[in-house]
Amino acid sequence: MIENWNFFRAERNAVGSEEERLMQLFQNRAGLKKAYADLQDEFHLMRDRLKQQEGATARVQDQLDALAELLADPRTGYSALVFFQLRSLWKTCNQRLTGFAADLSRRQQERESAAFLDQCAEERARRLAAADERVNDARAQADESRGRVSAVEAEQARLGAIWHYFKRRELQRSLHGLRTETAAADARVRDLLVVRGGIVDEPAEPFPGISLAARRTINLAVIAYAELLCEEVDAYGVAAKAKEALARRVHEMSFGSRTDCEGYMQRIQKAIAAVSAQKQVNAAVKLRLDRLRGICDYRNPADTVPTADSLTANGGAGRPATPGWNVLAEDYWDVYSVLLR
């Protein structure tokens, strides 16, 4: 009988083990199918990306071939050189404008950040002084309460005769209340010290950023400098051409004969040299900044960039006339990408 039971139990264990193996196989199979599906999705995604990259590479190659043909043709090669030199001039002006804006922003942030830290330090010092005053008042109350306890204890010790029994019992009741009051006063001192420690240990408040007024001023200075660059470049007669070269493709522009193109290239190089050699522009920018402050308008009180219409040449009724360069309307030197928001 026992042997039959043992055989039955062994048979049941074998069946259970076989079921577990089958379950494990099904789970492994499901996992492999999911991994295979994921690999298939990734394969199709990578193949699509490869096709897109091949298309982009083909387009770039077509552009290079077209450019090579332009440069190889004496009738168009010089115009292509002028075209790319005009774009180089535009890039140089944009870099000057970007550096100017970054320098103004950095200096303004340093000033406002220092002022903000000083203000935070003064505010913390004021709060610490108030906390110290509360701690000192609480300590004085606790000391006063302890003094009353000591006085009652001394009085109780002095009344040692048997006929002072009722007086001592009255003093004992009074002493219990005074000790409770002293403990509460000490607890208040500890609580106030915790509050004061929180003020000392609280993290520094982060700088909220350059103020709205400062961002507006910086943007107006950047606009003024963009106008100055326009006048500097236009002294060589290539400002409008640089704008046109940015908006059009190389094969869409022609600059005349070889002699004309060489003249353009000489003027472009002189303009790049003049822009790169600019050192002291603050005085000229300040004059323009004062003018821009008097004519600019904003769409709403939170805007930092003035409307382009407010910088038009006539300036509107009762406003001073402005130079012929509306750098915002034309987005000269990509000025919009430089302005602070």
Q: What was the pLDDT predicted at 318?
A: 42
Distances (CA, A) of 288 to 68, 106, 273, 295, 336: 44, 21, 23, 11, 18
Binning pLDDT at 50, 70 and 90, where does residue 10 land?
low
Q: What was the pLDDT predicted at 182?
A: 80
pLDDT of 317 over the 50 cut: no
Identify the residue with better confidence: 167 or 88.
88
Q: What was the pLDDT predicted at 13?
A: 58
- For the chain, state the CA radius of gyration: 42
Identify the residue with better confidence: 206 or 15.
206
CB 276 within 8 A of CB 92: yes
pLDDT of 328 over the 50 cut: yes
pLDDT of 235 over the 70 cut: yes
Cα of first residue to Cα of last residue in the chain, in angstroms, is 92
Distances (CA, A) of 146 to 131, 153, 166, 167, 256: 22, 10, 24, 21, 102
254: region left, alpha or beta (phi > 0 left; psi from -120 to 50 alpha): beta
Exposed e or buried b per residue across 230-259, where buried means at least 16 C-beta atoms within 10 angstroms of its C-beta: bebbbebebbebbbebbeeebeebebeeee
Q: What was the pLDDT predicted at 196?
A: 84
Is residue 224 classed exposed, middle or buried when 0-12, 13-18 and 19+ CB atoms within 10 A define those classes? buried
Distances (CA, A) of 228 to 271, 302, 329: 13, 27, 16
Compute the average pLDDT of residues 177-190. 81
CA distance 20 to 156: 86
What is the residue type of 291? R
H runs (alpha helix) in the chain: 2-72, 74-158, 165-201, 212-234, 239-247, 258-276, 282-295, 327-330, 335-338
CB 70 within 8 A of CB 250: yes
Compute the average pLDDT of residues 290-315. 83
CA distance 140 to 135: 9
User: How many Cβ atoms are within 10 Å of 160's Cβ, its own excluded?
Assistant: 8
User: How many Cβ atoms are within 10 Å of 294's Cβ, its own excluded?
Assistant: 11
Q: Of 163-177, 185-199, 271-285, give the lowest mean pLDDT range.
A: 163-177
Q: What is the pTM of this model?
A: 0.69
pLDDT of 334 over the 80 cut: yes
Q: Of 4-8, 61-65, 112-116, 139-143, give the lowest mean pLDDT range.
A: 4-8
pLDDT of 207 over the 60 cut: yes
Binning pLDDT at 50, 70 and 90, where does residue 164 land?
low
Q: What was the pLDDT predicted at 267?
A: 93
Identify the residue with better confidence: 185 or 106.
106
What the block records as the tokens of 100 is: 């100017």
Q: What was the pLDDT predicted at 139?
A: 85
pLDDT of 282 over the 70 cut: yes
**Four-point Cα dihedral 136, 138, 142, 148, nearest 10:** 100
Q: Is 255 helix (H, G, I), strand (E, B) or coil?
A: coil
**Four-point Cα dihedral 147, 152, 158, 160, nearest 10:** -150
CA distance 63 to 142: 87
Q: Of 173-182, 185-194, 260-269, give the lowest mean pLDDT range.
A: 173-182
- Which letter does DSSP use for residue 207 in this model? P
pLDDT in tens, 36-61: 888 888 888 888 888 788 777 776 66
Compute the average pLDDT of residues 27-40. 78
pLDDT in tens, 69-120: 555 566 667 888 888 899 999 999 999 999 999 999 999 999 999 999 999 8
What is the residue type of 150? S
Q: What was the pLDDT predicted at 322?
A: 43
Binning pLDDT at 50, 70 and 90, where does residue 218 land?
very high
pLDDT of 32 over the 70 cut: yes
- How much of the chain exceeds pLDDT 90, in percent? 28
Average pLDDT value for the chain: 81
Q: What was the pLDDT predicted at 306?
A: 92
- Which letter does DSSP use for residue 250 in this model? G
Compute the average pLDDT of residues 261-288. 87
Q: What was the pLDDT predicted at 154?
A: 67
